[in-house]
Structure 1
Amino acid sequence: MSEHHSAAEGHEHGDHAGLTKGKIWQVFGILLLITVIEFIIALYVIPHGMMTQKVGNYIYIALTLLKAFYIVAYFMHLKFEKLGLQLCLTVSFIFIIYFIVLMLIEGSFLNIHMLHNS
Structure 2
Amino acid sequence: MAHHAPESDYNSDGVVDHGKANVKPILKALAWIVGITAFEFLLAFVMDASTLRNSIFIILTIFKAFFIVAEFMHLRHETKGLIWTILIPMALLIWLLVALISEGSFVGESIFNAYK
TM range (shorter): 0.5 to 0.7
| Greater per-residue helix proportion | 1
Whether 1:31 aligns to 2:33 is: yes
Segments of structure 2 that go 5 or more residues without pairing to the other structure are 10-20
- CA distance in structure 1 between the partners assigned to 2:109 and 2:33 by the alignment: 38
Deviation at 1:76, TM superposition (A): 0.9
1:1-118 aligned at under 5 Å gives the runs: 5-6=4-5, 20-43=22-45, 45-46=46-47, 52-54=48-50, 55-108=52-105
SS of the residue aligned with 1:6?
coil
- CA distance in structure 2 between the partners assigned to 1:100 and 1:42 by the alignment: 20
- Paired residues in the alignment total 101
Over aligned residues, Cα RMSD in angstroms? 2.8
The verdict on how the C-alpha distance between 1:104 and 1:32 changes in structure 2, with shifts beyond 3 A counting, is closer
- CA distance in structure 2 between the partners assigned to 1:40 and 1:108 by the alignment: 24
Segments of structure 1 that go 5 or more residues without pairing to the other structure are 11-18, 47-51
Question: CA-to-partner distance for each residue in 1:7-40, whole Å, 9 max, x for gaps?
Answer: 6xx9xxxxxxxx7112111111111111111111
User: Which is worse superposed, 95-104 or 32-41?
Assistant: 95-104
The verdict on how the C-alpha distance between 1:53 and 1:104 changes in structure 2, with shifts beyond 3 A counting, is closer
- CA distance in structure 2 between the partners assigned to 1:57 and 1:114 by the alignment: 20
The two structures have a TM-score, normalised by structure 2, of: 0.67
- CA distance in structure 1 between the partners assigned to 2:106 and 2:55 by the alignment: 19
The verdict on how the C-alpha distance between 1:114 and 1:77 changes in structure 2, with shifts beyond 3 A counting, is same
